[in-house]
Chains A and B, each alone.
Chain A
């Protein structure tokens, strides 16, 4: 079974700083997908970024980028020029393919606070 570990329960940085959230996972598969989701106090889970394991290039989405190290099974999220609206719970997730659907395995989450 796949497992996902986020070792930082909480983090706090000043606005405009750069912050990196760590995530490691364990799998025996070779092709898979990884995601970072954000959950602000409004409750909705919002997709931040995704990475396909067969792609060597790290994914980027505006201020968000990942450092994907397949051999080390590491998938960290970097947030540049952090903003107050980035305050949220961040979950790393591994996607298992199942017939006609998919199953997400989540880490325990990192609560990120951006301070003014």
Chain B
């Protein structure tokens, strides 16, 4: 069982839809991350939150909008996505100190029609 829970596991949406991905952890971690992973490629960092504040945005298009409402939750709001945005979206969390490993969720498989 994963300690980082992501919902939904699968999502199919049209380019005009608005949807949200959710991520939850109860390990007391104060750093949370969103990654995008294409098939047979490594994860690519999108956003980093530290103590509920956005600390890194890796030049992600504005059609992706992250939100961290509290220390346990991380959302990724999606709007007007493109077919090339189809991918596995992984959430991770870690302690805020720099020597602790990240714990990953199972991911959301997103398909854009």
A residues sitting closer than 8 Å to B (CB atoms) are: 33, 35, 37, 42-47, 50, 52, 89, 91, 95, 97-104, 106-109, 111
Q: Which 6 A-B pairs have the closest CB atoms?
A: A100-B50, A97-B98, A106-B42, A101-B31, A45-B104, A101-B50
Tell whether B59 is near chain A: CB-to-CB under 8 Å: no
Would you call B45 and A100 a contact (CB within 8 A)? no
| Partner among B51, B98, B104 whose Cβ is within 8 Å of the Cβ of A102 | B98
Name the distance in Å between A81's Cβ and chain B's nearest Cβ: 24
- How many A-B pairs have beta carbons closer than 8 Å: the answer is 73
Smallest CB separation, A66 vs chain B (Å): 14
Pick the residue among A42, A101, A109 that contacts B94 (CB under 8 A): A101
Chain A to chain B contacts (Cβ below 8 Å), 5 pairs: A33-B99, A44-B106, A50-B101, A100-B30, A101-B96
Is the Cβ of A44 less than 8 Å from the Cβ of B50?
no
> Known interface pairs A35-B101, A98-B55, A107-B42. Does A44 touch B31 (Cβ–Cβ under 8 Å)?
no
Closest CB in chain B relative to A47 CB, distance in Å: 5
Q: Which A residues are CB-close (under 8 A) to B92? A: 45
Residues of A within 8 A of B109 (CB): 43
Q: In the complex, A50 Cα to B99 Cα: how many Å?
A: 10
Interface residue tally on B, bucketed by range: 20 to 34
- In the assembled complex, the Cα of A75 lies from the Cα of B94 at a distance in Å of 23
B107 — which chain A residues lie within 8 A by C-beta?
A: 43-44
- A residues near B40, Cβ cutoff 8 Å: 89, 109, 111
B66 is an interface residue with CB less than 8 A from chain A: no
Q: How far is the CB of B80 from chain A (nearest CB, A)?
A: 26
| Residues of chain A within 8 A of B103, CB atoms compared | 47
CA distance in complex: A109, B106 (Å)? 18
> In this complex, what residue of A is CB-closest to B102?
A104
Extra inter-chain contacts (12) besides given A100-B50, A101-B48, CB under 8 Å: A33-B98, A33-B99, A43-B107, A43-B109, A46-B104, A97-B98, A98-B48, A98-B56, A99-B55, A100-B31, A101-B31, A101-B98
